Amino acid sequence: MRDLPVMARAYVSAVVIVGTLILAGGVLHLDRSNILTAVTLVGLFAVTHLTRSPLRNNTATVRVINISVVMPISIAAVMLLGPWTAPLVAAAVFVDPGNQWFRRFFNVGMVAIAVCVSSIVYVSLGGEPITSTTDFRDPRAVLIPVLVAALVMEAVNALLLVTVIAITQNVSPLRVWFGKMSESAFPMFIYSIFGLLLAVVWSYVGPISAVLVLAPLMVARWVFAEFSLRQEAYEATMRSLIKSVETKDLYTRGHSERVSRASVLIGRRAGLREDRVVTLRYAGMLHDVGKLGVPTSVLQKAGRLTEDEFEAIQKHPLRGREITKDLEFLGEAIEGILYHHERIDGRGYPDGLTGAEIPEFARIIAVADAFDSMTTTRSYRGARSIEDAIEELIRCKGSQFDPVMVQALTEAIEAEGWDASDTLPTDLPAAVAGLPSFASDDDDPTAAGRLGLPTATPDDASELESDPAAGTVVEERS
């Protein structure tokens, strides 16, 4: 808390104070008629809150819908207890081992305020506290007020939460909202119907209804948790299989992972939609998967390659497509893999596409790919500095690279920095005797002179002088 900005501290304190006042009011209004309901709801809330699935945010692509029990039980409290005592359920949020104290206090305050406002809305819309004599058949008596109250509760909750994240982390509130929260807004609303369910059944069969209501809720949560586990497993599998391509060459270790990261940086800068960025990540990860099929003896060959061997390497984008073409979820990533060695001036492979003919993903990966191979140690030279690499990219933009993407990478690295980790120790000599050398490095624009290119294909990567005329192709595109 102490390291937070003054604004944030003031805001958090305000929320906590208001929440405490609301809770104090609730305690004063407890009496014989409602204490059993209130205590059961708080207990229920605490138990489900404790067993919630942790929201995983270590992998950027994992989209988890965290089924919150805050909504359903709060809604049930609104309907069963009324505006004074309903906010008491918020106290259960305090049971949150491992979380920082100020966050716990804030969460309690936030939920108390949201429940209180929502209760007031419920009552003022004519919603009645649920008893065993409530007539549920009239939608105006219960259904409509409760749905509006749920919306209001969610809105107040989101507003308070987005604000605190925006202030403490100094990001735009819109970004916070559209980051992860907007996705769960609709499911949360749907799940507030569990609250209605709980209240109705409660009035009829009493607290035993909690068990019945919790069953589907727990199942849904369990499935979502399984889902996110599966997705993680899935990512991990893919990553490790990709790594197996890199075991073939010590010098390219971590390459796919970094290209994937750099591609995401470029894609975000270039304003790609978030779901496309996810696909782009996969594309970056898999861009060299076709090399898995190239015999190791060719990949590791020191010295000149024969024409056949060179062809085998040049086929890797085609092989990559061959391998990935059945993966429906990859979508445009497959094109990105196929064309990541195309050049803006049309001298790339496999199809010699030019300018905007090259799919956007391929243009992004091409830049990321070149950038990473320049900034890491290769058998024939040491790693270059980031500045040098960017300079080289700029020199080749318009001929080899899309200037928009080069610009995007430059900006992104300026803003966010770049960590070329997972590379070899810097003291590794550029050419260690006995280590396989990556003679076929066609990712690195500066390596062209080193390629053992047969004279039959002089165009492919032999010279990289920027062609002033070629630059216009891409600029017109945008």
Question: Which one, of 207, 36, 215, 12, lies nearest residue 108 by Cα?
Answer: 12
Q: Report the interface residues with other proteins, using CB under 8 A.
A: 65, 132, 134, 136-137, 139, 143, 187, 190-191, 193-194, 196-197, 200-201, 203-206, 208-209, 211-213, 215-217, 219-220, 222-224, 226-227, 230-234, 236-241, 243-245, 247-248, 289-290, 292-297, 300, 319, 322-324, 326-329
Query: In this complex, which beta carbon is closest to other proteins, that of residue 133 or of residue 478?
Result: 133
In the complex with other proteins, the residue whose CB is nearer, 226 or 388, is: 226
- Closest approach of other proteins to the CB of residue 197, in Å: 6
Q: Which is nearer to other proteins, 241 or 430 (CB)?
A: 241
Give 361-395 as a DSSP string.
Answer: HHHHHHHHHHHHHHHS-BTTB-PPPHHHHHHHHHH
Q: How far is the CB of 257 from other proteins (least distance, A)?
A: 13
Least distance in angstroms from the C-beta of 285 to other proteins: 11
In angstroms, what is the minimal distance from the CB of 232 to other proteins? 8
Nearer to other proteins, 228 or 407 (CB): 228
Nearer to other proteins, 101 or 234 (CB): 234
Nearest distance, CB of residue 217 and other proteins, angstroms: 8
Q: Whole-number minimum distance, CB 360 to other proteins, in Å?
A: 23
Q: Distance between CA 316 and CA 311 in Å, rounded?
A: 9
Q: How far apart are the first and last CA of the chain?
A: 46
240 or 421: whose CB is closer to other proteins?
Answer: 240
Cα-only R_g, the chain: 29
Asked whether the beta carbons of 409 and 418 are under 8 A apart, the reply is no
Q: Cβ–Cβ contacts within 10 Å for residue 237, how many?
A: 10
The minimum distance between CB 218 and other proteins, in angstroms, equals: 8
In DSSP notation, 180-244 reads IIHHHHHHHHHHHHHHHHHHHHHHHHGGGHHHHHHHHHHHHHHHHHHHHHHHHHHHHHHHHHHHH
The nearer residue to other proteins, 193 or 448, going by C-beta atoms, is 193
The total number of residues written for the chain in this structure:
478
Phi first, then psi: what are they for 348, rounded to 5°? Answer: -90, -170
Q: What is the 3 state secondary structure string of 99-165?
A: CCHHHHHHHHHHHHHHHHHHHHHHHHCCCCCCCCCCCCCCCCCCHHHHHHHHHHHHHHHHHHHHHHH
